[in-house]
Amino acid sequence: MPKLALAVSGSETLATNLYDRLRADVLAGKLEPGRKLQIEFLCERYSAGQTPVREALNRLTSDGLVERREQRGFAVTPVSRDDLLEITKTRCWLEEVGLRESMAQRTAQWEEELVLAHHRLAKMPRSNSTAGYEENPGWEALHKAFHHALIGACQSRWLIAFCEQLADQLYRYRQLAVHRTYPNRHERGEHQAIVDAVLAGDADEAVRLLNAHYRQTADIILADAQLFG
């Protein structure tokens, strides 16, 4: 009666659990950019030992969300205008490749998944509150899934992983600014237009719209004076 029938394979390890929680806090901006991440502080905050904390930090480093400084610990990766632009630019390049490739390899199944992902996203409210902005985790998950679906038929797990990493980076920037920048956006329409272009088989137009979508996001964040020094 102790262990359950199928141990599946991944009894979640403490380090993994911590990784997830730390990641969420960095992405949500609860651990601010530039902040020093002292082991002891994190041990208290998440009530864990040093080893799993350390391991989680090391994993975060590969996501580019945390920096390691030899012999002087870890810190949340800082943000800057330049980085935002560079990440956005790179994402535009890579997702252009992924989208064109997906469209070149298009299958009925892929199109259906895309339509479905968009439909689900469109139904979900952006904010949990009608008054101001209150994060809706459901929307965020579906939004991520939608953008993933766009490049989902490119047949390269590497490219997809790179795009996801860049998406996470930009998610953090959005979260840092969203309380001041919301609403000011017509995401629904933009997403719809992209899907339309994809279904119409117009790759140039789809790419143009997708890039514009990302550029506009960047512009809105850049306009938030408070975010950067």
Partner DNA sequence: AACCGCATAAATATGTATATTATTAAGTCC
Partner DNA sequence: GGACTTAATAATATACATATTTATGCGGTT
Any contact of residue 166 with DNA (CB under 7 A)? no
Any contact of residue 61 with DNA (CB under 7 A)? no
Measured between alpha carbons, how far is 55 from 17 in angstroms, rounded to an integer?
Answer: 11
Any contact of residue 70 with DNA (CB under 7 A)? yes
Least CB distance to its own copies at residue 68 (A) = 9
Contacts of 125 (CB under 8 A, 6+ apart): 136, 139
- Count interface residues toward its own copies (CB under 8 A): 32
Any contact of residue 11 with DNA (CB under 7 A)? yes
Closer to its own copies by CB, 51 or 129: give it: 51
User: Kind and range of the H or E element at 149?
Assistant: helix 137-150
Contacts of 29 (CB under 8 A, 6+ apart): 172, 175, 176
- Looking at residue 128, the DSSP 8-state letter turns out to be S
C-alpha dist (Å) from residue 219 to 150, 173, 216, 225: 22, 11, 5, 11
Binding its own copies (rule: CB under 8 A), the pick from 9, 47, 130, 184 is 9
Any contact of residue 39 with DNA (CB under 7 A)? yes
| Residues contributing to the site for its own copies (CB under 8 A) | 9-13, 16, 51, 54-55, 58-59, 61-63, 69-71, 86-87, 89-90, 93-94, 97, 101, 155-159, 162, 166
